[in-house]
Amino acid sequence: HYPADDHVLRLRYGWSPRYSLKQDLPPVLQRWKEARAQEQSKKHPVWDFLRNHSKPWIAFEICVTFILEELLRTAVQGNSQLGTVDLRLFFVVIVGTMYGLNAGVFAAALACAGMALSYASKGASFAPLFYDTSNWITFVVYFVAGAVCGYVQLRNRENLRFMRDENSLLRERLAFLRDLYHDVLDDRRMLRGQIIGRRDSFGKMYAMTRELDEVQPQKLYRAAIRIMQDTLGGDSFGIYRIDNGGRFARLMAASPQTESLFSKSALLENYANVVIALDHGGLWVNRNLEQNLPMYAAGVHADGKLAVVIVLAKAQPDQMNLYFQNLFTIMCGLVESAMVRAFDYENVARHAMLVPGTEFLNTQAFLPKVLAANELKHDHMGDHLLLRVDDAWQDNGSRLMGAIRQTDEAGVLQDGNVYVLMNQAGKHELPIINKRLAQAGLHVTRVSGQEEDALLDEASEQVAAESHEGGTV
């Protein structure tokens, strides 16, 4: 049942993919064979009857042949040449050779009965026939001839059946080997397609490596979440950043629509077994299915210390195997290499990114971080607050830097104001943030979404213009 042709593809491309020989021809051919078999079975009812009733038909043939043999023997009794031929023995040999042992013995019995009736028709007595053993030779020859000819035919039939069964077994073995060969070919094609285009192939690994070639940690978080979702098939990945004291883990990015699975801040002493596993083996697997613990966790180490933790909160039953564990380890290894490189670059270039004499990032360094946070927010992988800080230049910004978290960033945009980027913070956390900054003697104002977009667009255009002028010079 094909849908109605709307002629759109035919008019646009000149063809319409409505028929598939590969899918349609086998069932059509099978239905044709079934219909032909039914027609053939209906055309030959007589042969079907004879095929289903072979033994009575054979007995009828033997009896008719015996009658014809007796009539022929009576007709040629006066012939000097044909009279020397024993037609009854000829009948027994033919029947035994054609139909087997049982039919040969039955034909011998009929020949003996015919011989006895011929004796009786001549007026001979049955007493000399039974008491004179020399008269038994003819009867014995009949039975021996029927039995021997029937045995030869039966043995040939058994040999033929044995060869037929052996050929059937060989055909089955050949069909099995053919299916096995086709399975191997299918596996070969599948593996070749996996190598060329599967999500965990070498080509994909190369594309992932190119995508992770970033020096901006915020961009790496977004790229790592997206790549791991596409490759591993999960939808509950999260990335935590460990502070310098090693006490807290701050959520940096998470899979969309999984806010309830991840806490924005975690005390590491509550996850001592996970941290120990990451420090020793680099991988944590929740084999005991403990509650409130991720199914998988991998650590990223920088300068010999645990810096980032990549977690998979939930896993499917088919993902709790060694293959998925190895694939998760490989993916986390790629992410670890990229993050360690980005952290090293940021540490080395940190001094050049600051406004001279302060702890604030300049516009060229701060703007990409805000843009990356915006991308995480638009992709529903994270949230952030952009706060404008008044009187931030006091003490060269040391008071502001002491009041924010390690995962937060403070910098200057093109309007000359100081802004604070609070990663993984929303409007619900704003009162707590205002209270903490107020205790440090700072007053902040939240930048709305529309104002933030306009500010970022203006800053991006200015940075692009400056870069273009610098390249022209």
Examine residue 194 and state whether it is found in any structural domain, yes or no.
Answer: no
Residue-wise pLDDT for 64-73, tens only, equals: 888 888 888 8
- 122-158: string of b/e by CB count within 10 Å (b at 16+)? eeeeeeeeeeeeeeeeebebbbebbbebbeebbeeee
Q: Are residues 212 and 331 in the same domain?
A: yes
The pLDDT, as a whole number, for residue 166 is: 92
Mean model confidence pLDDT for the chain: 79
Q: With 80 as the cut, is the pLDDT of residue 248 above it?
A: yes
Residue 3 maps to a domain: no
89-93, 125-129, 225-229: which range is least confident on average? 125-129
pLDDT at 198: 53
426: in domain:
yes
The number of distinct structural domains making up the chain is 4
Q: 323, 348, 373 — which closes off a domain?
A: 348
Give the position of tokens 């902040």.
444
Once rounded to an integer, what is the mean pLDDT over residues 397-422? 79
Residues 24 and 18: their CA atoms lie apart, in Å, by 11
Stretch 162-174: mean pLDDT: 92
- In the prediction, which pLDDT does 203 show? 64
Read off the pLDDT of residues 260-281 as tens digits, 9 standing for 90 and up. Answer: 678 888 888 888 888 888 888 7
Which residue, among 371, 408, 404, 376, has the nearest Cα to 241 in the 3D structure? 408
- Please tell me whether residues 383 and 417 are part of one structural domain: yes
Q: Clarify whether residues 401 and 418 are in a common domain.
A: yes
Would you place residue 167 in the very low, low, confident or very high pLDDT band (cuts 50, 70, 90)? Answer: very high
Average pLDDT over residues 32-41: 80
Q: What is the pLDDT of residues 438-450, one digit of tens each?
A: 877 777 888 887 7
- Residue 400, pLDDT score: 76
Last residue of a domain, one of 287, 319, 348: 348
- Whether the per-residue pLDDT at 17 is higher than 60: the answer is no
pLDDT number for residue 9? 60
187 Cβ contact partners less than 8 Å away, ≥ 6 residues apart? none
Q: What is the pLDDT of residues 38-63, one digit of tens each?
A: 776 665 666 566 556 577 778 888 88
Regarding whether 287 and 230 lie in a shared domain, the answer is: yes
Domain with 25, as residue range(s), is 8-43
Query: Could you tell me if residue 186 is inside a domain?
Result: no
Q: What is the pLDDT of residue 345?
A: 83
My answer on whether 212 and 334 are in the same domain is yes
State which of 49-63, 250-264, 294-308 shows the largest mean pLDDT: 294-308
Whole-structure pTM over 0.75, yes or no?
no
Bigger pLDDT: 354 vs 159 = 159
How many other CB atoms are there within 10 angstroms of residue 311's CB atom?
23
Q: Which pLDDT does position 260 carry in this prediction?
A: 66
How crowded is the C-beta side of 371, counted as CA atoms within 13 Å?
A: 16
The three-point CA angle 218-222-224 to 5° equals 110
Cα angle for residues 400, 404, 407 (degrees, 5° grid): 130
Choose between 17 and 399: higher pLDDT: 399
Summarize the confidence of residues 459-466 as an average pLDDT. Answer: 62
Q: Are residues 331 and 210 in the same domain?
A: yes
Q: What is the number of other CB atoms lying within 10 angstroms of the CB of residue 420? A: 25
H or E element, residue 138: helix 136-197
**Same-domain status, 344 and 238:** yes
Percentage of residues of the chain with pLDDT beyond 70: 80
Q: Are residues 384 and 332 in the same domain?
A: no
Are residues 442 and 306 part of one domain? no
We report the CATH number of the domain holding residue 219 as 3.30.450.40
Asked if the structure places residue 113 within a domain, the reply is yes
Q: Are residues 362 and 299 in the same domain?
A: no
Q: Which two tokens stand for residue 284?
A: 């944590």
Check whether residue 249 and residue 379 sit in a common domain.
no
Nearest to 341 by CA among 217, 210, 211: 217
pLDDT of residue 473: 38
Residue 1 domain flag: no
Q: How far apart are CA 265 and CA 271, in angstroms?
A: 12
Residue 187 belongs to a domain: no
Q: Name which of 202-206, 386-390, 410-414, 455-459 the model is least confident about.
A: 202-206
pLDDT at 232 (0 to 100):
82
Residue 191 lies in a domain: no
What does the pLDDT look like over 331-381, one tens digit per residue? 888 888 888 888 888 888 877 888 887 778 888 888 888 888 888 888 778
Q: What is the CATH number of the domain that holds 375?
A: 3.30.70.270
**How high is the pLDDT of residue 202?**
60
Is residue 264 located within the same domain as residue 236? Answer: yes
Mean pLDDT for 187-202 is 65
Residue 130: pLDDT band with limits 50, 70, 90: low
Contact 111, 142 (CB under 8 A): yes
β-strands 237-242, 305-312 pairing: antiparallel
